[in-house]
């Protein structure tokens, strides 16, 4: 099991995972859920290029920071993804943090969430990030346990705008 840069090599497994995401409801992970399978099948290299350029700060939407994306691969299968944001905006300081991760629906509650966060901490350190903010929805008990298992120190419970779930904020020092 390892974190790797996104690659065409894992196209089929990644697309199968996207189909899994589409089959379940999501309250907070929109990036993968919004990918269109047909577009990925027809132009996967373009999607990979987009992810890789984000780590260099290229072609970012207004207000976004550079982020490096890794995929958790186990036995050549896409398990999940993690994005490590190189810096924090005011918005990320409140509800996004440095690290955002997700595990495909069929692989949840198997320890992969804990592993993906663990592996991403050393990647963040290599990027020069030593004090890492990780957040989760207050209702996401699984993510709360994952963050705490990786040394997360609870800072606060942040109420957001009306209609949004409150966030739990944790710091991890590496």
pLDDT for residue 31 is more than 80: no
d(CA 117, CA 122): 9
Distances (CA, A) of 83 to 38, 156, 157, 161: 23, 22, 22, 24
The dihedral over CA atoms of 136, 142, 128, 55, expressed in degrees to the nearest 10, equals -70
pLDDT for residue 82 is more than 90: yes
pLDDT confidence of 29, banded at 50, 70, 90? low
Position 99 scores a pLDDT of 98
- 103 or 32, greater pLDDT: 103
Taking the whole predicted model, whether its pTM rises above 0.85 is answered as: yes
pLDDT for residue 25 is more than 80: no
Cα 26 to the center of its chain, rounded Å: 14
| Model confidence pLDDT, tens digit, residues 50-72 | 999 999 999 898 989 999 999 99
Position 128 scores a pLDDT of 97
Position 34 scores a pLDDT of 72
Instruction: Give the CATH number of domain 2-127.
Output: 3.40.630.30
Listed in sequence order, the residues at least 6 apart from 158 whose beta carbon sits closer than 8 Å to its beta carbon are 94, 95, 166, 167, 168, 169
Question: Please, are residues 20 and 29 in contact by the beta-carbon 8 Å criterion?
Answer: no
Mean pLDDT of all residues in 33-55: 90
Return the ∠ at Cα 40 (arms to 38 and 45), rounded to 5°: 145
pLDDT confidence of 121, banded at 50, 70, 90? very high
pLDDT confidence of 30, banded at 50, 70, 90? low
d(CA 35, CA 53): 18
Domain ranges (residues) in the chain:
2-127
Q: Which residue has the tokens 């942040």?
A: 158
């Amino acid at each position: 099991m390892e974190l790797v840069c996104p690659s065409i090599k894992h196209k089929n497994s990644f697309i199968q995972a996207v189909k899994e995401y589409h089959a379940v409801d999501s309250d907070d992970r929109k990036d993968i859920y919004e990918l269109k399978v047909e577009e990925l099948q027809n132009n996967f290299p373009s999607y990979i290029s987009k992810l890789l350029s984000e780590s260099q700060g290229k072609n970012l939407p207004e207000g976004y920071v550079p982020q490096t994306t890794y995929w958790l691969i186990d036995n050549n299968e896409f398990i999940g993804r993690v994005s490590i944001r190189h810096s924090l905006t005011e918005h990320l300081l409140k509800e996004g943090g440095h690290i955002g991760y997700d595990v495909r629906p069929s692989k949840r509650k198997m320890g992969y969430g804990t592993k993906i966060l663990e592996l991403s901490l050393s990647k963040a350190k290599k990027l020069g990030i030593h004090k890492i903010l990780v957040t989760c929805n207050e209702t996401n008990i699984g993510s709360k346990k994952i963050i705490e298992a990786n040394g997360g120190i609870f800072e606060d419970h942040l109420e957001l705008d009306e209609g949004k779930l409150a966030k739990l904020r944790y710091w991890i020092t590496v």
